[in-house]
Structure 1
Amino acid sequence: MTLSAQTPANRARLQADLVLRNGPIWCGREDGIVEALAIWQGRVLATGSDAEIAALIGPGTKVIDLEGRLATPGLNDSHLHLVSLGMTRDWVDARPAVAPDLASLLDAIAKRAAGTKPGDWILSRGYDQTKLDTGRHPYREELDRAAPNNPVMLIRTCGHVSICNSMALELAGIDEASPTPPGGLIEQENGRLTGMLAENARAPVWAAIPRPTEEDLVAGIERGGNYLLSLGITSCMDAAVGQRGAFGEISAYHRAKRDGRLPVRTWLTLLGDEGRSIVPQCYDAGLISGSGDDMLMVGAVKLFLDGSAGGRTAWMNAPYLGEDKTTGVQMLSNEDCERQVMDAHVKGYQLACHAIGDAAIEQLITAYEKALAAHPDPDRRHRIEHCGFSTPEQHERMVAAGIYPCPQQVFIYDFGDAYVKVLGPERALSSYPLRTWFDLGLKPATGSDAPVCDPNPFPNFYTMLTRKTWRGTVMDEAQCVSIDEALQAYTEFGAFSQKQEAVKGRLVPGYLADVAVFSRNLLTAAPEEILKDTRCDLTILNGKVVFDRAAQKA
């Protein structure tokens, strides 16, 4: 039995608050599997056999029989957007599983419009043009017909492309004469707006939409966080705080924590792009990386360097397939990127910047290298968010500089076929090279980028094990990892990416008692069983049961 550091006299008096028994309990990739786990005052007290842990059970101890179900450290979704996840759950659901073709998508918008006051905004998210029967983005005229009396913004699943109807464009002040902003795209065909806006070109539309109140934000945090708990996710990173309500999101998070409405441990990444950055306000308030506690902590600064591969806006060195020969969207000049990275680095922030295409990754690595050379910090752990199309030469530089990828392997499942379509198999199949990153010691975490993808972890596990897309396409089988490695990515490496690997991500004495219990033993299940027939049955946060599927059904 492994006990936390207590004196012999104290140990004799200790009684666990909670005991999990009749495992298996996966404590960590290097920590092995045990039968039982004891929790005391929100921390792991001891691990061992059923007989060993029985000595810590007293009259006040709650005992949970796992009945052979697998328990693991609580999962850590290392990159999602918690506020957006919660708020978009009230939007029109345009995901392919709900709206598989253009007609059903437009019908869903029309139904929402029928019950909406004229002039009020209709927001929708989740479509993927590569999965629609038309194989293209919807047009603004189609949205006009579905909702003639309401402004509509339909957001692609990636979050980097929007389709707006005529009323939305008019409210945003966008017409055929509008100049395309740097790092943006306003699409026209035959001299007319199609309704498609990408990246920075969408800012006027967001400015025209009424800002959410602080209560709206808190409700979104609570709603999204409770959904994560139902999936076994106890920690997450909110990847760009400040996109909604500017500095008000910081206030909303602290209010949610104060009022007991912050369901999951949250690591805040501050929006840092000039013109909408909240970093100056946070820095003046003393909110730098590491500020806060285990429940709510300021993490990194986020800059956007490009868009998405499926939306053809990720910045690539070579063109996408097609006649337009686009290489995507470069959001920042080299000078601006290096200056903004340097500023945040000098202020003491970790950086976690969005870069998907190989050109964007190159730009970001160079900026990180220059900042680290000028102001060395061997453990700053600057991150590359997504890092989808990195190259072997870039990997070598990342290892040398201590720069870490933070990918979302579920992108392979949801978008892999789209990558093949827009880039060709040679470039697409080797994207998000998880096995390579493991072998190089780059400690890749994983996540969902929700609401880009659903935070449901089981498609993510499935893809890490098989490299298969939802259609069954195998995206370079050599990049598969084992289930132990997949769990490590979702737990210990998630904690490492947040500089919290000494307090969470493993079930060992003294660590935070965050636990996920699954309906199936992931360690022995076939990947297809994990994908289709597994759920989270029980979630424990800080030693307390915060989600119980059986109790919800009762």
Structure 2
Amino acid sequence: MSSVDTADLVLHSGKIWTGYGNPVAEAISILGNKVLASGSNAGITASVGSDTKVIDLGGRFAMPGLNDAHLHLISTGLLRGKVDATPDAAPTRSALVAALQARAAATPKGEWVTARGFDQTRYPDGLMPTALELDAALPDHPVSVTRACGHVTIVNSLALAQAGIDSATPNPDGGLIGRENGQLTGMLAENAQNLVYDVQPTPPLAQLIDAIEAGGHHLLQFGITSCMDAAVGQVDGMTEIEAYRQAERSGRLPVRVWATLLGDPGSSIVESCHAMGLVTGHGSDMFRIGGVKIFTDGSAGGRTAWMRQPYVGQPDNVGIQMLSDAQLFELVDRYAALGYTLVCHGIGDAAIDQLVRAYELVRAANPKHTSRHRIEHCGYVDDALNQRMLKAGVLPAPQQAFIYDFGDAYVSVLGPQRGLGSYPIGTWDRLGMKPSTGSDSPVCSPNPFPDLYAMLTRKTYKGTVMDASEILTPEQALRAYTENGAYSQSAESVKGRLEPGMLADIAVFSNDLLSAAPEKILRETRCEMTILDGRIVYDRG
């Protein structure tokens, strides 16, 4: 055997899923950073040479590295500096307040105390925190507590004062300042959050690089080798692009990133990136410029997603429309003409309809247009919207972790008829729309097992079944997490399957994800090893 045929790395004696429709292999060989071959133990171990690293999988399950097709990597890394307000850490408002007070006790007076992750629908009384509550508990620190969805923040009076917000401050475009009986409640929704974010300390470049590295290593522990960073520029504009470039150059970028550029009016980094030649497709297999993100509405759980029909118990509330048709259509047309794929946020059916109309105009103006425009989240659709998306080549980019974490909240704010049909991934799969999946971390944990569990069962953390007709088979679920994510990034020719010549990104798990019971996947499965570019980058053992 020639040295060209000798593998650098061989994994054998496992159950290796190489991609949808392929037979399960026993072994796989890698040369450099590419897959050489897969097949039987006997066929693959023939490529073992004196310098080949050999790993006995001992019957464990291996598959293409997961692709979290929508998360916020920098924000995930920055979470370490915030108080954990998630339901597991703070199941009640009083527990949240106690955690904030503990942080305040270790923070000099006058400095910010920030938290992320609360979900008021999990509290026994279902109520959000208020400025009055935070004032009483933390009188000496400006405080901001961001909801899990990232679309609502509660602040105290010191924070409002620093931001220059009083009872006479008008709602900003695409934002809402909470008021009751003429008094501020401390609630800031959508663009109104920026009034407070703008006066909080901005992390320096070095901290952003640290966050990229920390967030990436966190993903590797779950077998995630690729991700989309869903709004680069949201924390500190072009400094984030520089952070990514320095992280890649210095070997501190642990995972492959498809970088989505923030394109909202007033905070867009698209023009600056375009001037540098950073358009969709530019870059390397580790860091590539993806699409442009525009926000069109908020979140369903926060009652700010833009719906055609009002929320339960709030007949005047259909959510928040961020942009007029004219504004959105102009932005989409301009960014598409500059060479960008559009990957815009739309959750409510009214927002999705607005986005589909914008994409249809781009397609009509140039029928040869080949960009794979996406709708991020894409929570609430009907048959007509799905058919229009299919015709226009628009891809849904949902997060099935939302079903597990927030499904019960959707039913409570939208009612059973709309709520149970949230994020219909089974329908999209049957229509051939190649739905991807992910976590939207730090909205949800990047832990893939609740996401997989939701795809296999449509169950929430409480056990509510969110329309069983949307259940996927194990192979369909794994395809959403790998190949479909790659397709949504126009990268299906290089990753998402373990076939000869494709990137050697591999995740090894403790249980067989094709045959294990969903409960076992959720509660007992661990990532044992992660391989990226043919190198072992995480080993639990």
TM-score for the superposition, normalised by structure 2: 0.99
- Aligned: 1:328 with 2:290: no
2:174 is aligned to: 183
Which aligned pairs between 1:213-228 and structure 2 lie closer than 5 A? 213-228=204-219
2:102 is aligned to: 111
Partner of 1:72: helix, strand, or coil? strand
1:514 is aligned to: 505
1:33 is aligned to: 24
Contact 1:102 1:134 in 2 (8 A): no
Letter in 1 for 2:63: T
For residues 57 and 406 of structure 2, the distance between their equivalents in structure 1, rounded to whole angstroms, comes to 36
Which aligned pairs between 1:364-379 and structure 2 lie closer than 5 A? 364-379=355-370
- Aligned: 1:458 with 2:438: no
For residues 405 and 378 of structure 1, the distance between their equivalents in structure 2, rounded to whole angstroms, comes to 18
2:33 is aligned to: 42
Which aligned pairs between 1:141-540 and structure 2 lie closer than 5 A? 141-540=132-531
- Aligned: 1:22 with 2:13: yes
- CA positional deviation for 1:134: 2.6
- CA positional deviation for 1:133: 2.2
1:545 is aligned to: 536
- CA positional deviation for 1:522: 1.1
Partner of 2:42: helix, strand, or coil? helix
For residues 38 and 95 of structure 2, the distance between their equivalents in structure 1, rounded to whole angstroms, comes to 52
For residues 143 and 316 of structure 1, the distance between their equivalents in structure 2, rounded to whole angstroms, comes to 31
Q: Which moved more, 1:55-64 or 1:232-241?
A: 55-64
Q: Deviations over 1:132-173 (max 9, x none)?
A: 123110011211222211111100000000000111110001
- CA positional deviation for 1:12: 6.2
Partner of 2:68: helix, strand, or coil? strand
- CA positional deviation for 1:376: 2.9
Q: Deviations over 1:73-126 (max 9, x none)?
A: 000000000000000122100000010011111000000000001111111000
Identity of aligned residues (%): 56
Contact 1:305 1:331 in 2 (8 A): yes
Partner of 2:29: helix, strand, or coil? strand
Superposition misfits of 4+ residues, deviation over 6 angstroms: none
Partner of 2:192: helix, strand, or coil? helix
Contact 1:346 1:375 in 2 (8 A): no
Partner of 1:260: helix, strand, or coil? coil
- CA positional deviation for 1:379: 2.5
For residues 172 and 296 of structure 1, the distance between their equivalents in structure 2, rounded to whole angstroms, comes to 35
Contact 1:388 1:431 in 2 (8 A): yes
For residues 349 and 13 of structure 1, the distance between their equivalents in structure 2, rounded to whole angstroms, comes to 39
Contact 1:23 1:66 in 2 (8 A): yes
For residues 375 and 154 of structure 1, the distance between their equivalents in structure 2, rounded to whole angstroms, comes to 45
- CA positional deviation for 1:313: 0.2
- CA positional deviation for 1:440: 0.7
Structure 2: tracts of 5 or more residues without a match: none
2:79 is aligned to: 88
Contact 1:158 1:311 in 2 (8 A): yes
- CA positional deviation for 1:30: 2.2
For residues 467 and 52 of structure 2, the distance between their equivalents in structure 1, rounded to whole angstroms, comes to 49
- CA positional deviation for 1:59: 1.1
For residues 86 and 180 of structure 1, the distance between their equivalents in structure 2, rounded to whole angstroms, comes to 31
For residues 4 and 211 of structure 2, the distance between their equivalents in structure 1, rounded to whole angstroms, comes to 43
Contact 1:236 1:266 in 2 (8 A): yes
Q: Which moved more, 1:261-270 or 1:140-149?
A: 140-149
Contact 1:101 1:134 in 2 (8 A): no
For residues 81 and 56 of structure 2, the distance between their equivalents in structure 1, rounded to whole angstroms, comes to 37
Contact 1:102 1:133 in 2 (8 A): no
- CA positional deviation for 1:325: 2.4
- CA positional deviation for 1:523: 1.1
CA RMSD of aligned residues (A): 0.9
Letter in 1 for 2:358: A
Letter in 1 for 2:23: G
Q: Which moved more, 1:210-219 or 1:308-317?
A: 210-219
For residues 259 and 158 of structure 1, the distance between their equivalents in structure 2, rounded to whole angstroms, comes to 32
Partner of 2:198: helix, strand, or coil? helix
Q: Deviations over 1:337-365 (max 9, x none)?
A: 10000000111100000000000000000
Partner of 1:173: helix, strand, or coil? coil
Letter in 1 for 2:531: I
Partner of 1:291: helix, strand, or coil? coil
Q: 1:266 to 1:515 in 2, by over 3 A?
A: same
Structure 1: tracts of 5 or more residues without a match: 1-8
- CA positional deviation for 1:378: 4.4
For residues 245 and 325 of structure 1, the distance between their equivalents in structure 2, rounded to whole angstroms, comes to 35
1:3 is aligned to: none
